């Protein structure tokens, strides 16, 4: 185990009110409040099986993702957090994020989440345009999205992310910019701005909308970078923008190739054990997950780990690290993968010569051109 590698915890809540046509996440519509105590118990049993992966490290961030975690009561979230704290050490300043959809937002519920220990909300707005929300299959309106943001601030959340999508069907550049400006008008300090893509196993894959091409949306990206930069909101990751100090610490741990335990149906985890990097995934279907983890067991998760092949480890590291606009310290490569700088020196020299990577002896980072063609840069390391 590597104590120097930060450790996070991901908690997956797999239910939502209605599956969105673009969503390829592990989400299911058959939610009932009666499942909460059963699922909470299964989550904690799941965590019990992962305790031998902790290696004495405290949990530095916790993220409730979904699905729609805000479907769960604050009582359930409180029980989960108390159960986590009774099993592992949790940093005093642990960042605890919960994803919320405006359609399930309630002022009293937000306040109760805050009282339970959640200190950061991520609200899935996607757009403030009612026509675009309808096209995306969202169940909330623009007014409900605005009300959810107001409720979050009124409930004491000073750390708030708003999810927005762009590159939507029949969307003009001015409409995409208007969504960002509306979010900023509330004083939010973090934005996730995702380009809509059509994924397999989604309703949009079967019946795809006509989306603007890369040649159309690329100028939007440059415009947004300039707009937000003038407001001291910087792009620190491909789809993430924030004021200084408001970055998602949980996501930063992902991109810096940190470790994370993962509990819940379909949750993915990554851990470092004995100088090797391992990944694991939990059973996807909620019913099967409840069958598997519904009762306490002493089985260890170490038996279900899959080692990242040695020939892929550098590529996986770079695939994460180079998503960060400013890259990562060079020393992180050896600290997180065990690989020396020499293992990538020839590839780096080639990319530097083509103007795709920064020539920096202390840092691994792309140039602006390399960031534009990030997929191609990352492929060079596999």
- Predicted local confidence at residue 5, as pLDDT: 94
| Structure confidence by residue, pLDDT tens digits, 323-364 | 999 999 999 999 999 999 999 999 999 999 999 999 999 999
- Predicted local confidence at residue 304, as pLDDT: 78
Task: Report the SS3 class of residue 13.
Answer: strand
- Predicted local confidence at residue 273, as pLDDT: 87
**Domain residue ranges of the chain, discontinuous segments joined by +:** 7-254, 324-379
Average pLDDT of span 74-96: 98
The mean predicted confidence, pLDDT, of the chain is 94
Strand-pairing partners, residue 307, are: 278
344: buried, middle or exposed (CB in 10 Å: 19+, 13-18, 0-12)?
A: buried
Give the span between the Cα atoms of 212 and 332, in whole angstroms: 38
Average pLDDT of span 82-101: 98
Is pLDDT at 135 greater than 50 in this prediction? yes
Which fold would CATH assign to domain 7-254?
TIM Barrel (3.20.20)
- Predicted local confidence at residue 303, as pLDDT: 61
* pLDDT bucket at 55, cuts 50 / 70 / 90: confident
- Predicted local confidence at residue 107, as pLDDT: 79
The pairing of strands 59-66 and 7-13 is: parallel
Give the span between the Cα atoms of 354 and 361, in whole angstroms: 17
| Structure confidence by residue, pLDDT tens digits, 165-177 | 999 999 999 999 9
| Structure confidence by residue, pLDDT tens digits, 218-227 | 999 999 999 9
* pLDDT bucket at 108, cuts 50 / 70 / 90: confident
Average pLDDT of span 100-123: 92
Give the span between the Cα atoms of 58 and 91, in whole angstroms: 6
Secondary structure of 139-188 in the HEC alphabet? CCCHHHHHHHHHHHHHCCCCCEEEEEEECCCCCCHHHHHHHHHHHHHCCC
- Predicted local confidence at residue 255, as pLDDT: 98
Is pLDDT at 23 greater than 90 in this prediction? yes
Average pLDDT of span 235-258: 98
- Predicted local confidence at residue 1, as pLDDT: 47
| Encoded tokens for 10 | 């991901």
Average pLDDT of span 214-240: 94
- Predicted local confidence at residue 300, as pLDDT: 61
Q: Which pTM was predicted?
A: 0.96
All residues at 6 or more sequence positions from 145 whose CB lies less than 8 Å from its CB, including other chains: 102, 123, 125, 128
- Predicted local confidence at residue 2, as pLDDT: 53
Is pLDDT at 154 greater than 70 in this prediction? yes
Tell me how crowded residue 334 is: count the other CB atoms within 10 A of its CB.
12
Is pLDDT at 288 greater than 70 in this prediction? yes
Give the span between the Cα atoms of 59 and 75, in whole angstroms: 21
Is pLDDT at 3 greater than 80 in this prediction? no
- Predicted local confidence at residue 302, as pLDDT: 60
Average pLDDT of span 184-201: 96
């Amino acid at each position: 185990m590597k104590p120097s590698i930060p450790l996070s915890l991901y908690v997956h809540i797999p239910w939502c009110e209605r599956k969105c046509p673009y969503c390829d996440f592990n989400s299911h519509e058959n939610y009932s409040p009666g499942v909460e105590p059963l699922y909470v118990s299964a989550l904690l049993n799941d965590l019990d099986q992962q305790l031998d992966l902790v290696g004495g490290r405290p949990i530095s961030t916790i993220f409730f993702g979904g699905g729609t975690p805000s479907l769960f009561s604050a009582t359930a979230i409180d029980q989960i957090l108390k159960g986590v704290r009774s099993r592992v050490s949790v940093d005093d300043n642990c960042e605890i994020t919960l994803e919320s959809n405006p359609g399930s937002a309630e002022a009293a519920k937000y306040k109760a989440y805050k009282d339970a220990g959640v200190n950061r909300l991520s609200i899935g707005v996607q757009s403030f345009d009612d026509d675009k929300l309808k096209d995306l299959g969202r169940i909330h309106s623009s007014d409900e999205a605005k009300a959810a943001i107001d409720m979050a601030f009124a409930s004491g959340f000073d750390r708030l992310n708003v999810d927005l999508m762009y590159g939507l069907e029949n969307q003009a550049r001015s409409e995409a910019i208007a969504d960002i400006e509306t979010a900023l008008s509330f004083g939010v300090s973090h934005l996730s701005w995702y380009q809509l893509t059509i994924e397999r196993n989604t309703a949009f894959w079967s019946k795809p909308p006509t989306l603007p091409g890369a040649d159309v949306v690329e100028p939007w990206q440059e415009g947004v970078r300039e707009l937000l930069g003038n407001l001291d909101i910087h792009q620190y990751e491909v789809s993430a923008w924030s004021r200084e100090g408001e970055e998602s610490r949980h996501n930063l741990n992902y991109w810096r190739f940190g470790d994370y335990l993962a509990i819940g149906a379909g949750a993915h985890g990554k851990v470092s054990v004995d100088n090797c990097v391992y990944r694991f995934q939990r059973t996807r279907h909620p019913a099967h997950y409840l069958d598997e983890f519904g009762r306490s067991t002493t089985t260890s998760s170490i038996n279900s780990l899959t080692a990242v092949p040695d020939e892929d480890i550098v590529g996986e590291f770079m695939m994460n690290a180079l998503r960060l606009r400013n890259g990562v310290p060079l020393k992180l490569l050896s600290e997180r993968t065990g690989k020396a700088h020499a293992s990538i020196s020839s590839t780096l020299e080639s990319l530097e010569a083509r103007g795709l990577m920064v020539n920096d002896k202390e840092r691994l980072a792309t140039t602006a051109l390399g960031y534009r063609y990030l997929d191609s840069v990352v492929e060079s390391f596999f």
